[in-house]
């Protein structure tokens, strides 16, 4: 049975994990940084191999956003190391981030990663965690469908923009069909504030207002759309 799935807005569960780069305490060892923990069903499998190649290829882009990566599956450390060696030798790219070994499934249980699709392999999950150790986004993919790493980059950039400018972001930001690369102004809390909104911002109505954001923020995110 799966464990209780952590929720968006909660602190990432405290745990000590064994990885290919030594023991790591989560989320404490990443305090002050964004980090992404992502699980995969198994080492030495085709879809997972394409995902690790894609994550490794974009590692510098994650680093530019101040993001650390950490993988996870129920395989052993030995298996992780051999698989990473195979990826480097055969595909020409080094896996630069740690991979959690969880052969007993205790970490997977704690994070709720053993779903109905398989009781013995972790689903493709993504936890995006902010510098305060708070879970900001969770994604799940089935075993047969690989993830879109560019969307994960866009999500991190979007969350950082949300925090920095106090806005929400529209669908397909920064290429939204209605407001382009602008930010959505948070809802009015009083009648007076609602009446003032159209005077301060561009609005479809008082409850749907938007404002300009620095061009460089959108230009960076546009690479991943």
pLDDT digits (tens, 9 = 90+) for 129-177: 999 999 999 999 988 899 999 999 999 999 999 999 999 999 999 999 9
Helix (H) or strand (E) holding 211, with range, is strand 208-211
- Report the C-alpha dihedral over residues 18, 12, 148, 87, rounded to 10 degrees: -10
CATH number at residue 216: 3.30.1020.10
Does residue 92 sit in the same domain as residue 46?
A: yes
Q: What is the pTM of this model?
A: 0.94
pLDDT for 132 equals 97
Residue 69, domain extent: 15-146
pLDDT for 119 equals 58
Domain tally, the chain:
2
86 located within any domain:
yes
Residue 119: CB partners within 8 Å, gap ≥ 6?
A: none
pLDDT for 2 equals 45
Using the Cα atoms of residue 72, residue 73, residue 74 and residue 80 in order, give the sign of their dihedral: negative
Reading the block at residue 200, the tokens are 């301060």
Whole-angstrom distance, CA of residue 158 vs CA of residue 145: 24
Does residue 67 sit in the same domain as residue 170?
A: no
Q: Are 75 and 42 in contact (CB under 8 A)?
A: yes
Does residue 137 sit in the same domain as residue 170?
A: no
152 located within any domain:
no
Does the annotation mark 48 as catalytic? Answer: yes
Identify the segments of the chain with pLDDT beneath 50.
Answer: 1-3
Token pair 């102004």 is at which residue? Answer: 185
Collapsing DSSP to helix, strand or coil, 23 comes out as strand
Residue 22: CB partners within 8 Å, gap ≥ 6?
A: 98
Q: pLDDT of 94-107, one tens digit each?
A: 999 999 999 988 99
Which entry of 17, 18, 24, 48 is annotated as an active-site residue? 48
pLDDT for 1 equals 40
């Amino acid at each position: 049975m799966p464990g209780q799935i952590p929720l968006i807005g909660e602190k990432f569960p405290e745990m000590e994990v064994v990885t290919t780069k030594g023991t790591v305490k989560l989320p404490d060892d990443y305090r002050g940084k964004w980090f992404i923990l992502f699980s995969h069903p198994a080492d030495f499998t085709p879809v997972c191999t394409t995902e690790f190649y894609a994550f490794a290829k974009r590692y510098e882009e994650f680093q530019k956003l101040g993001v650390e990566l950490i993988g996870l599956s129920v395989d052993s450390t030995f298996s992780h190391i051999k698989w990473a060696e195979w990826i480097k030798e055969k595909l020409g790219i080094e896996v630069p981030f740690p991979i959690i070994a969880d052969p007993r499934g205790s970490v997977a249980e704690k994070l709720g990663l053993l779903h109905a699709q398989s009781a013995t392999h972790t689903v493709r999950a993504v936890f995006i965690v902010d510098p305060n150790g708070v879970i900001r986004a969770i994604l799940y993919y089935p075993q047969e469908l690989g993830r879109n790493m560019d969307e994960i980059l866009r999500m991190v950039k979007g969350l950082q923009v949300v925090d920095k400018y106090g806005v929400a972001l529209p669908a397909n930001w920064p290429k939204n069909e209605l407001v382009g690369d602008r930010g959505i102004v948070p809802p009015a809390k009083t009648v007076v504030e609602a009446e003032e909104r159209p005077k301060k911002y561009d609005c479809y109505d008082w409850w749907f207002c938007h404002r300009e954001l620095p061009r460089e923020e959108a230009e960076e995110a546009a690479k991943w759309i």
